[in-house]
Chains A and B, each alone.
Chain A
């Protein structure tokens, strides 16, 4: 593999310039009033970029008010960074307009593809981890970072299938992307757990193979499961329930190594009351506080 390391990456402002090393929540419009009334709100909020690509109206009115009160992270779900075609220039332009308008503390996207031949499939689809994909993903990340003038975070996917032709493991592929593109990582601990279960990998080994120093944000979420006739389980990343016990344990394992990292609770289907989401963020915050206390004792 002979890919140049991005000579510009050092020029980009760090992606975590403004995200506190604390717990935040994925923002849902139905929680707007409760969030504004919360005297001790989560440390930051994250929004999906594609929900704010209209010109105006209530979505922007809400986001502007949130941006005045809390650090905001913008999380894209539709750029198709792993796509075989060039990035959609219209979508990139919409993204740049959004980033310019709100100057968020972080911008992240996924190691996945969602568009092929001009059609958008509304899902984060898996990639074959080979040299051709690596070159393509790195070129797309370079293009995004140059366009936005900032370092981006790339999120590890949740997967249900792998490609026979893959010549890299997923953590090795992510390591190579970080090395060549200079992007940072958004480590979704639930995705690690789901993918490792579904594809029979050891999540602790997976994490050991990742460049954890490049992790600038962590995602935590719940997953669903289904069973087939033989009792075999498939885990499905649906962001529709509280974070599972095994994922909390894996999260502790990660932050014990990285120290405190901005941590987001995602909950996108069967959306609960604000208080439930807030409680999940408080639980993450308690674990972050524990890590800080341990670090102080050690010092």
Chain B
């Protein structure tokens, strides 16, 4: 028998298609069947990654139950194996897979709840940065003209999104319970849209619902518009915007890591 020029190609193909038989060119020492031996590798690949996804998305798993969740994760692992050995990257993309996974459409908020869990993983591993101190804000508040002209740099852990569902309330109902399958969802109107922010000012990840206009306001700040412009954009989109609530959000959660003001004022 001529040895394969690329034994790894055959090995990898057999790992990804459970119905394929054991790749050629293997030698089995002893009586234990080659299929069972190869199954150890299939298990490390498929079950290992399913376990990793289940560990990363405990609330999503609780919402659909372990059996459905693991079947969904298995589909993802076999159809789209990781592209990097850094498995947090694999978790971050999972909400997109869920959003396109047809059988999950019966739980329309599932992908958005998973998005919260993914953003929490992202925030956990994001670069560290020191939030702007209260004193710096106080100084700026004393000079409204400079305040309106200031631009901010936001914390690298900070991220937000708009959900068409009550993703935050559903996620929050699963916190602080000893058994997530007993989370109480009965009082939640799941079709009420919610905006969510995840950040990590120090070592603890923070997850909060956002007030009206906040996502637009944060988008504008992220795009390096001045605070004044950001407030204008938020007001233009919604008359209910509360400037005080947005400013409190910024200060209380350490969202800014730098305040840049023009020198002439």
Please give the residue numbers on chain A whose beta carbons come within 8 Å of chain B beta carbons, in ascending order.
50, 53-61, 77-80, 83-84, 88, 90-91, 94, 113-123, 125, 128, 130, 160-166, 198-201, 226, 228, 230, 232-234, 236
Contact = CB atoms under 8 A, between A and B. Distances in A.
B36 interface: yes
B263 interface: no
Contacts of A57: 123-126, 128, 157, 200, 203
Interface of B: 1, 3-4, 6-9, 11-12, 15-16, 25-34, 36-38, 40-41, 44-45, 48-49, 52, 81-88, 123-128, 156-157, 200, 203
Nearest to A123: B44
Contact of B45 (A90, A117, A118, A122): A122
A123 B47 CA distance: 11
A271 B125 CA distance: 23
Given A50-B85, A91-B85, A118-B83, A234 B7 contact: no
A160 B41 contact: yes
Counting chain B CB atoms within 10 Å of each CB, the highest count among A56, A90, A226, A233 belongs to A56
Contact of B88 (A54, A90, A122): A54
18 contacts: A53-B86, A56-B156, A57-B123, A84-B8, A84-B9, A91-B85, A114-B85, A116-B12, A121-B15, A121-B41, A121-B81, A130-B3, A162-B26, A163-B26, A198-B29, A198-B32, A232-B30, A232-B32
Nearest to B2: A165
Given A54-B125, A232-B31, A161 B26 contact: yes
A119 B37 CA distance: 22
Nearest to A114: B85
Contacts of B85: 50, 77-80, 91, 114-115, 120, 122
A119 B12 contact: yes
A232 B33 CA distance: 9
B143 to A, nearest CB: 33
A166 B52 CA distance: 34
A266 to B, nearest CB: 15
Given A161-B26, A164-B27, A121 B45 contact: yes
B87 A122 contact: yes
B31 to A, nearest CB: 5
A198 B37 contact: yes
B154 to A, nearest CB: 15
Nearest to B52: A122
Given A59-B124, A119-B81, A125-B11, 14 more contacts: A57-B126, A116-B9, A119-B12, A120-B84, A128-B25, A162-B29, A163-B25, A163-B27, A164-B25, A199-B29, A200-B30, A230-B31, A232-B32, A234-B37
Given A84-B8, A121-B12, A50 B126 contact: no
A160 B37 contact: yes
A226 B88 CA distance: 31
Contacts of A54: 86, 88, 124-126
A94 B123 CA distance: 19
A167 to B, nearest CB: 9
Q: Which 3 pairs show the lowest CB-CB distances between chains A and B?
A: A78-B85, A54-B125, A165-B3
